[in-house]
């Protein structure tokens, strides 16, 4: 699957966002190494703290189905009334959750513009957006297969 297609999956995922409080809708599409896509959206809560980000929803869906081999994740986000989406980078908590299951070269594809109906994006490695990180191997835990 191309990164363009993965961005489209994230845009579809965003449509399911439950955001009555912030009105900020995020979509994520997690690509496994065997080509499966798990979609995630943010799910808010009246008590605020239990809110789950789109990226974590996608990861937790995959892990709860026994899938652990991830290649890339596309992330898109913006306010519900926004005409063209700009950059929406993953929060620190989501970066750490991604770190639990993904290697340094896992790719994060961030939509950064939608000029004239065309999506543009940037591609980052996990190690670029979460340098000097703490992960399972620091706790002497081997990555799951």
Catalytic residue (choose from 5, 9, 12, 55): 55
CB of 142 to ligand THU, least distance (A): 28
User: CB under 8 Å to 85, separation ≥6 — which residues?
Assistant: 76, 77, 78, 111, 113, 114
Identify residues 85-144 at the interface with ligand THU (CB under 6 A).
90-91, 94
**5 catalytically annotated:** no
Going by the DSSP 8-state scheme, the letter that residue 84 receives in this structure is S
How far apart, in whole angstroms, are the C-alpha atoms of residue 137 and residue 55? 22
CB of 93 to ligand THU, least distance (A): 8
- Answer yes or no: are the C-beta atoms of 54 and 41 closer than 8 Å: yes
How many angstroms separate the first and last alpha carbons of the chain?
Answer: 22
> Does the footprint of ligand THU cover residue 30 (CB under 6 A)?
no
The residue within the footprint of ligand THU, chosen from 30, 37, 53, 108 (CB under 6 A), is 53
CB of 6 to ligand THU, least distance (A): 16
How far apart, in whole angstroms, are the C-alpha atoms of residue 84 and residue 103? 32
Instruction: State the residues that interact with ligand THU by CB under 6 A.
Output: 19, 22, 24, 26, 42, 44, 51, 53-55, 90-91, 94
Residues annotated as catalytic (active site), given as ranges: 55
């Amino acid at each position: 699957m191309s990164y363009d297609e993965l961005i489209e999956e994230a845009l579809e995922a965003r449509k399911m966002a439950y955001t009555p409080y912030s009105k900020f809708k995020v979509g994520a599409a997690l690509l496994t190494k065997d080509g499966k896509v798990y979609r995630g959206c943010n799910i808010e809560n009246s008590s605020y703290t239990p809110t789950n980000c789109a990226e974590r929803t996608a990861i937790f869906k995959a892990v709860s189905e026994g899938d652990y081999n991830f290649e890339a994740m596309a992330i898109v986000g913006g306010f519900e009334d926004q005409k063209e989406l700009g950059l929406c980078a993953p929060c620190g908590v989501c970066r750490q959750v991604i770190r639990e299951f993904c290697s340094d070269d896992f790719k994060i594809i961030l939509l950064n513009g939608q000029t004239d109906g065309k999506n543009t994006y940037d591609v980052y490695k996990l190690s670029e957006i979460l340098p000097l990180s703490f992960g399972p191997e620091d706790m002497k835990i081997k990555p799951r297969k």
